[in-house]
């Protein structure tokens, strides 16, 4: 299954990841709506890229979690969508954020 599955009334999906080998690092949006080079990746690969938080998981194909470059990349994603669809407005945006809290206990 790939990300590339748009239809007229489909739900559009953007998933952020950072390509860390570029200088400066690039924030990419893997998607099913732009028809670009980031629209054809396999879903499992994109999931692996976006969950590669360096403190917890190893990078994959030089991609790491989008939060490395943009703590909450929603605004950047919204801008990309508005530019692509010529400011057509969005009915709903959902940002899924995972947060870890680490407690240090001294004995």
Q: Which residues of the chain have pLDDT under 50?
A: 1, 4-7
State the pLDDT at residue 63: 92
10-24: pLDDT as tens digits: 777 888 899 988 888
pLDDT at 57: 87
- How many domains, in total, are found in the chain? 1
Q: Measure CA 2 to chain center.
A: 15
Which pLDDT value is given to residue 45? Answer: 92
In DSSP notation, the chain reads: -BS----TTPPP-EEEEEETTSSS-EEEEEESSS-STTSSSBHHHHHHHHT--TTTS--BTTEEEGGGT-SSTHHHHHHHHHHHTTS---S----------------
- What global pTM score does this model have? 0.70
Domain range for 51: 1-107
**Predicted pLDDT of residue 1:** 46
């Amino acid at each position: 299954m790939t990300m590339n599955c748009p239809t007229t009334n489909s739900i559009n999906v953007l998933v952020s990841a950072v390509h860390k080998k570029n200088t400066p690092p690039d924030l990419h949006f893997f998607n099913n709506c732009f028809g670009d080079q980031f629209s054809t990746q396999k879903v499992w690969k994109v999931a692996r890229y976006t969950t590669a938080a360096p403190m917890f998981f190893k990078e994959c194909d030089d991609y790491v979690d989008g939060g490395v470059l943009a703590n909450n990349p929603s605004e950047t994603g919204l801008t990309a969508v508005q530019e692509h669809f010529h400011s057509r407005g969005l009915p709903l945006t959902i940002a899924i954020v995972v947060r870890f809290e680490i407690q240090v206990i001294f004995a």
